[in-house]
Structure 1
Amino acid sequence: MTGMKIDMDYLIGQLKTLLSIDSPTGYTDSIVRYCTEELERLGLKPELTRRGAIRAVRQGSRRSGARSVVAHLDTLGAQVKLVKANGRLELVPIGSWSSRFAEGARANIYAEDAIVRGSILPLKASGHTYNNEVDTQPVDWTNLEMRIDALTTSVEETRALGIDVGDIVAIDPQPEFLDNGFIVSRHLDDKAGAAITLATVEALERAEARTPVDIHFLFTIAEEVGVGATSIVAPEVASMVTVDNGTTAPGQNSSEFGVTIAMADQTGPFDYHLTKKLVELCREHEIDFQKDVFRFYRSDSASAVEAGHDVRTSLVAFGIDASHGYERIHEHALESIARLLTIYVTSPLEIQRDVEEISDVEGFTEQPMAERDEE
């Protein structure tokens, strides 16, 4: 496996720090501040949108036809739907995730003027009381409640703590970094992607690498609710590589090792030419890879195209076991993707007409076509 040397101590250190910062969609200011400061420390000059999406441009030989690398900082979480008569909280999810993974979670409640700890429990949580009913109650968010770690048994006492409808609930990640390279935690989607992206920037800066076009490193804050890269993509960007998770599950081809290159998600195929280039770079530089297609998946690439950005899109993924649950990845995939990104952003620009938003057919791309007999 070739490519720039990736500082894995830096990458893993960044992942640990990112996981320690609560950032469910809608509550991302702290992680945005951290990433902005880290990008500045690495030598870039990040810009922020009003809500906090980050664009950090690393200058190349040309501004137009720029490439972008995007990861998202927001995670799954929950929100207070109702303060119940018993003082506990009814919750609704932030993002799409099953209530079965919420059961037993420890969490922070971000109230208006306080941070309060609590546990998410099924309504029938005590086997000594409900016997087999603890196993037969339906899996649904309406069958959960949040027990607050404070003296409260009524609506009035809970509200006296500053807790009310709409408060954000951030789920503890509970990370474990094992000596054999496996990493187990919630929220690896997509804090591992953000750590990979920061490690890519660090490697480029350390090597004083030159790129043929500007590289826009983007960090979005609302991917988990479907609107990630809607308003952060600049007009000069021609191609976008999203860094996010792949799903290692029966019927899928993703792996916790190497790079998983997504060929399509629920919004359709990714760009033929950009995806083909990434595959060829993996082969040329002996980076382990596999291809996959995701049926129930969307990413920052999808939100960018749906928002009207005319960019070539692709997705490189680190395989996650139990995605949107208690997730597991391996360091090998993180390093493999970071190496591929350093190779990609420094590689020649093959489609020269991409420097223009609109042009004629001269230089337009070609795809292989089968010859058909004329009748």
Structure 2
Amino acid sequence: MDRRSLIQQAGVAGILAAGVAPAVHAQATVRWRLASSFPKSLDTIFGAADVFSQQVKAMSGGKFEVSVHAAGELMPAFGVVDGVQQGSIEACHTAPYYFFGKDECFALGCAIPFGLNSRQMSAWMYEGNGRKLMNEFYAKYNMVSFAGGNTGSQMGGWYRKEIKTVKDIKGLKMRIGGFAGKVLERLGGVPQNLPGGDIYPALEKGTIDAAEWVGPYDDQKLGFNKVAPYYYYPGWWEGGPELDFFINQKAYDALSPENKAIVEAASASAHVSMQAKYDARNPAALKQLVGAGTKLRPFPADVMTAAFKESMALYEELSAKNESWKKIYADYDKFRADQNLWFRFTEATFDKFMQAQKL
């Protein structure tokens, strides 16, 4: 039997079983558009979408291309989920908690105050029930999600005036990402949900009193140190925020099995790449900021205690009125408790010792 006859009669499965590969495996050309919630100037967080696009193209031999568009090019930063849900774009790259106004459960797919750190979040998503539970929820919006990066634990933001006690939060107008604003409100603050590109002018003009973004590398690029002298830590509302790629369900279902595998692999590559970049670049940026006069401060103990108490109370309230939250958070809460027990004996103890050494 000649090669052509074998291919015609056996099919692909038979060919692979026989150990004979066809000369060319035809794949239909796929072209997607991806809208980001971030400006191109933030090369770390926006850059994850570029990594995703590059990997998809490379792994498909150019047969599957994803064009990446910065916030405002195709739609506003906070309009990308609507775009994916409605099918006007195939994909977006964003922070899920931006959309907690649609449903608080979006925050669980990204970060909640006093939640999981970055490694714990990846463990919940990849090896726990996280991805399964979140995708069940996202199905309501005609979307499927894949990991799109993590910044690692963030800083607590920039303040025009010093925060000495929890009383200083009262009346504070602060740009704070998504869901964390609910806790700030309970402390007497006034949250403002602004895209990254709008934060500096608001802080400079005094429209807001404080702002948080990610950490030293991005914050230095955005110039926050020029308009607010106090830099607080830690960002208790973002211990390990996961960014996601949201993909329109119909567009994803139309992909071949090979292209679905490529999407999953490309997202994993982008996911690892983002945090590696932040971890590599933040130390030097922090040194430069402090050297230029930034006043680094830890949050007072009463701020941390009050914020924790209000966060836990908020989660109980949401579990009582939002069935989706109750289901997902119950799993998240148990996973968090087990992770903290484990990290207490390993990561935390090791890190504390190493940070006390003079290297």
What's the TM-score bracket when you normalise by the shorter of the two chains? under 0.3
> Hey, which of these two has a bigger chunk of helix by percent?
2
TM-score, structure 1 normalization: 0.24
TM-score of the superposed pair, with normalisation by structure 2: 0.25
Greater per-residue strand proportion: 1
